[in-house]
Amino acid sequence: MFGAFKPSAPLSGGLLWKIPWRLSPPQKLRHRRRMRRVDNIVSVLDTALKRQAATSAAPAPSSSALSPPASSSSPAPSDLSRAAGGHQRLLASTTPTPTAAQNAVRNGRDTLPTTKRTTPPITAALRNEGTIKLIERWKAEMPTEQEMLPRDKYSMFDRKAKGYRKGVHKLPKWTRVSQRLNPPGF
Amino acid sequence: MSTPTRFFRITLLRSAIGLPTRSTGVLKALGLHRRLRTVYHPVTPDVAGQVFAVKELVDVQEVDRALSDKEMKELRQPDTGFYVERRAGAKQGETVEEA
């Protein structure tokens, strides 16, 4: 009667599996952490490939030049590279911050729908740097967790939903897929 | 190859149950058959692409050296909490030779 196997509607009925309308705050926190973890993995791959390409091209001197200088106030780069989201902080100083227009496009708020999201073509120069097309495309198109609006973090486009939005947790396997982009204007 | 090869240390954190067959296949190709399994692969664009395909499921670090299964097991072992002073049957004063 009581306990884990008490006859509740989902257990005894069958086709009744309720998903709450909204995400709870801890769910949101875990979701943010998962997104940051994915961002971190992409940056780990990117830096590793670039470093490997640099060292294989010019063995000794470039490797020391590539590694960022460790300042005494901030944690050591080796520590940062281990922590979740650490690589993001490492790269924050080096990578150019996206412009407001880019962010507007990503967030679906831009006024000009003619600006298309275009992937930069992978050129010979990029190939020499060691990056791969997948990563370049991800970096060009996907916003990082910090760049996203809360509305895009926690909800997604749904053509059948009222207001064209539903909670991102309604997406099947939502903890194991990257759903960050929505149609422009929605 | 004169330049030192660096490695990706890849650990499967989330299982691919219920995900498309493609991600299961990528995990199999990487040698990740169960959760918390750790494998080492050299830093190459091919491996990076494989990791990218399953980036939501794995944890990745860049390391200098690939550890063997035996070394990883030794790292997992807890300290025994004791040491052998004298073997049974050994005479007083005889010390144990360090292995």
pLDDT tens digits, B51-80: 999 999 999 999 999 999 999 999 999 999
pLDDT tens digits, A54-102: 888 765 443 344 444 333 344 444 444 444 455 555 555 444 555 665 6
- Interface check for B7 against chain A (CB to CB < 8 A): the answer is no
In the prediction, which pLDDT does A119 show? 57
Helix (H, G, I), strand (E, B) or coil at A166: strand
Mean pLDDT of B21-48: 95
In the prediction, which pLDDT does A127 show? 66
Residue A137 has pLDDT above 50, yes or no: yes
| Structure tokens, A67 | 């590694």
How many beta-carbon pairs under 8 angstroms link A with B?
64
Interface predicted TM-score (ipTM) of this complex, two decimals: 0.80
Distance CA A154, CA A165 (A): 10
| Domain locations in chain A as residue ranges | 25-61+76-146
CATH of B7-76, one of 3.30.1490.270, 3.30.70.1450, 3.30.1390.20, 2.60.120.560: 3.30.1390.20
CA angle A21, A184, A172 (to 5 degrees): 35
A178: nearest CA in chain B?
B56
Please give the mean pLDDT across all residues of chain A: 75
